[in-house]
Amino acid sequence: MLTIGTLGKKTGTKVQTIRYYEQIGLMPEPGRTEGGQRRYGDGELDRLSFIRHSRQLGFSLEAIRELLDLSDNPKRPCHEADVIARRQLDQVDQRIARLEALRKELKRMVHECSGGISSDCRVLEVLRDHSECLTNHDEIGA
Amino acid sequence: MLTIGTLGKKTGTKVQTIRYYEQIGLMPEPGRTEGGQRRYGDGELDRLSFIRHSRQLGFSLEAIRELLDLSDNPKRPCHEADVIARRQLDQVDQRIARLEALRKELKRMVHECSGGISSDCRVLEVLRDHSECLTNHDEIGA
DNA sequence: TGCAAACCTACAGTCACTTGACACTTAAAG
DNA sequence: CTTTAAGTGTCAAGTGACTGTAGGTTTGCA
């Protein structure tokens, strides 16, 4: 039987985050001691590991909810998990593409900064005038 | 004299976002019509363009506040803008590196999915067991 | 038994917006 | 000059995924 702190350490999750997952129904309500403290078993450890690993791969909590559901019902078609993962892969691809455009732009900016006073600063100049951009980064780079 | 909507169109910003920028002191309080509607001039257009362009390059609103300050005081050393830009560049580099690791992992996952029922799903299996990962993606992939 | 460390609840704060409700203003068409 | 639709106003709350704080309680060990 694990305390919430131990579970946190084993999965690399902050205590508050575990309680948060419970609150939004991603983690089940665990057993409690007489004094009211949470105690976890292996099932919960596995579930939290699944959640954290999925988060590290960039899945949203909503996507994880679906994936957990799939995992809980082994007869459902694998195809659904595949769709979610592919969607995620697409998003990652897009993000990388955008970030690379930004990187190029930033690098150019920084490279051209002469180090004088800010009225002559290339960095500020580029920010001021979008037309100086080599790339058209329409969407936000996050 | 531009309405808030026109300003929004010219800069690719939602009306609410412009009001939000005003609220947090990033945009100045503009002049108003008798009826109380905001009217903007070219100074504000430039300022908002600067903000939006910086956002597209991934700068936080706090960083943008500093950059605007620098831009408003042309005698301050350019070096400060350079530091902010370099910091941003470092962050972008790190994000790209992390996303590429995730991409690899996701690709492998999706590739190995056979399409049967979810109890045999490679996607779910990988999510369940972190030890199957080729990479150690410690930080969140966002 | 004493005590520190870990736990509890409840709520506020973060970031960068977005959405909603509801009322008022403006510009153009008729 | 009136109507009307589109646009604008304020204020408040919601989003995602947590993080942090305050103030009190429980646990496990010496």
Interchain proximity A120–B88, CB inside 8 Å? no
Task: Compute the distance between CA of residue A98 and CA of residue B118 in angstroms, rounded to an integer.
Answer: 33
Q: Which long-range contacts (CB under 8 A, 24 or more apart) does A9-15 make?
A: A10/A45, A11/A45, A11/A48, A11/A49, A11/A52, A12/A52, A12/B138, A13/A48, A13/A52
Contact residues, B window 23-82, toward A, CB-based 8 Å cutoff:
46, 49-50, 53-58, 67, 70-71, 73-82
pLDDT digits (tens, 9 = 90+) for B110-124: 877 766 677 777 778
Interchain proximity A124–B95, CB inside 8 Å? no
Give the pLDDT band (50/70/90) at residue A137.
low
Across A122-141, average pLDDT? 65
pLDDT digits (tens, 9 = 90+) for A6-40: 999 999 999 999 999 999 999 999 999 999 999 99
The CB density around residue B72, as the number of other CB atoms within 10 Å, is 10
> What pLDDT is attached to residue A115?
65
| A2, β-bridge pairs | A40
> Can you give the length of chain B in residues?
142
> What pLDDT is attached to residue B132?
63
* Alpha helices in B4-60, H assignment, sequence order: 4-11, 15-23, 42-56
- Could you say which of 2.60.40.1930, 3.40.50.300, 1.10.645.10, 1.10.1660.10 is the CATH number of the domain covering B4-59? 1.10.1660.10
Residue A130 has pLDDT above 80, yes or no: no
> What is the residue extent of each domain of chain A?
4-58, 79-132
For A4-58, CATH gives 1.10.1660.10
- ipTM rounded to 2 decimals: 0.74
Cβ of residue B131 closer than 8 Å to a chain A Cβ: no
Higher pLDDT, A48 or A92: A48
Chain A residue numbers with beta carbons less than 8 Å from the beta carbon of B107 are 89
Q: Give the gap in angstroms from C-alpha A36 to the nearest C-alpha of chain B.
A: 30
Task: Identify whether the C-beta of residue B123 lies closer than 8 Å to the C-beta of residue B110.
Answer: yes
